[in-house]
Amino acid sequence: MAQEIERKFLVQHETWRTLAEGRYYCQGYIPTQGKQTVRVRIIGEQGYLTLKGPTAGLSRLEFEYDIPLVDAQTMLRELCQTPLIEKYRYRIPLDDVVWEVDDFLGENQGLILAEVELTHAEQRVVVPSWIGEEVTGDPRYYNSNLVKHPFKDWS
């Protein structure tokens, strides 16, 4: 069983951009009836299917599987809600964790979020100077909700 434990933050300035190169991500969400999410993602030439359970505190169950690129492309086109989530992701190792900074494109352009995955919910991390407000518990910042309520529509 896989457990995802993460914290999410707004990014407050651009100094992080010199720390890593970004990779383009395109992802979408297949509608579900509960609090679970089914995500289809393409990174480069590889497709992924991810199943996530409901969030409880900082954690939730997460299962991710490689799938053929053509299957991921078809699922994104035919099964996922729109708009799709497009972003560049930057992986920045600092101390004993890796910060993932997402610079969103399209309907969510202007939003920049940083996530850090933890090994346990009480793990302490050194927060870099370019990190701003923590938004871990705010559902507006979940990628699956950015499909339904894109950042460009926020007041």
Catalytic residues, by residue number, are 29
CB-based contact 89:104 (threshold 8 Å): no
Rg from Cα positions in the chain: 15
Report the alpha-carbon distance of residue 106 to residue 35 in Å, rounded. 25
Q: Is the peptide bond before 83 cis (omega within 30 degrees of 0)?
A: yes
CA–CA–CA angle 120, 57, 47 (5° rounding)? 75
